Amino acid sequence: PFPHSPDTGTGLTNDGKDFIEKCAKKRMVIDVSHMNERAFWDTAKIIDQPIVATHSNAHALCAQARNLTDEQLRAIKESNGMVGVNFDVAFLRSDGKRDTHTSLDVIVEHLAYLVEHLGDNHVGFGSDFDGCLLPDDLAGVSDIDKLIERMQQRHFSDTLIEKIMAKNWFRVLDKIWQ
């Protein structure tokens, strides 16, 4: 159903908490993108590394259960983590429709919102190219230049675009793997 709260159920089980602890000790990236809100907070309490949502968006712009609340975004920023923007139309549109006639400007809106709430060093592309319903103008990675052009039109600097495309991912991965 849409709109939907991210508070969709119980958090991690004891086995789930043990698993997250073991993964964190091995310095593995722990992705919170598919977690409900309670599991997110359980994970945030367990790990001492950056919180990473590899393919999530802003709940304030699209009230999809998997999108992140402003409170979750604050926790990600405080952990020195990052959010990779999901290109799936169902996680982008304010109406939640699975409509491929979705402007790339909607992706840019999520990027701008996340940069505003997280800062320049905590946002990247998350895509979800491997199985999502994409906007017509972004059929795959070969169309990423169209998205970059929209970012430039919104006055994203070249430095910020480079960070979003890759440098922020390198930063957070280096931090986790150190």
Which whole number is the average pLDDT over 72-98? 97
User: How far is residue 147's CA from residue 5's CA, in Å, rounded to a whole number?
Assistant: 29
Assess contact for 119 and 73: CB atoms under 8 A.
no
Tell how strand 123-127 and strand 52-53 pair up.
Answer: unpaired
CA distance 145 to 72: 30
Residues 6+ positions from 153 with CB-CB distance below 8 Å: none
Please report the pLDDT score of residue 9 as a whole number.
86
Q: How confident is the model at residue 33 (pLDDT cuts 50, 70, 90)?
A: very high
pLDDT at 88: 96
Q: What is the pLDDT of residues 120-135, one digit of tens each?
A: 999 999 998 888 899 9
d(CA 69, CA 66): 9
What is the rounded distance in angstroms from the CA atom of residue 125 to the CA atom of residue 55?
A: 8
| Statement: residue 1 has pLDDT above 80 | no
pTM over 0.85: yes
Under the banding of pLDDT at 50, 70 and 90, the label for residue 6 is confident
Amino acid at 49: Q
- Do 125 and 164 touch, CB atoms closer than 8 A? yes
In 3-state terms, what secondary structure has residue 123? strand
* Sheet with 52-53, edge to edge strand ranges: 52-53, 82-86, 123-127
How does the average pLDDT of the chain come out, rounded? 96
Measured between alpha carbons, how far is 120 from 117 in angstroms, rounded to an integer?
Answer: 9
| Calpha distance 106→92 (Å, rounded) | 6
Residue 155 has pLDDT above 90, yes or no: yes
Return the pLDDT at 129: 87
Q: Give the rounded percent of residues in the chain with a pLDDT score beyond 70.
A: 100
Class of domain 51-177: alpha beta
Angle, helices 104-118 vs 144-153, to 10°: value is: 60
**Average pLDDT of 46-54?**
97
pLDDT at 7: 84
Name the band, by pLDDT with cuts 50, 70 and 90, for residue 5: confident
Predicted confidence (pLDDT) at residue 153 exceeds the cutoff of 90: yes
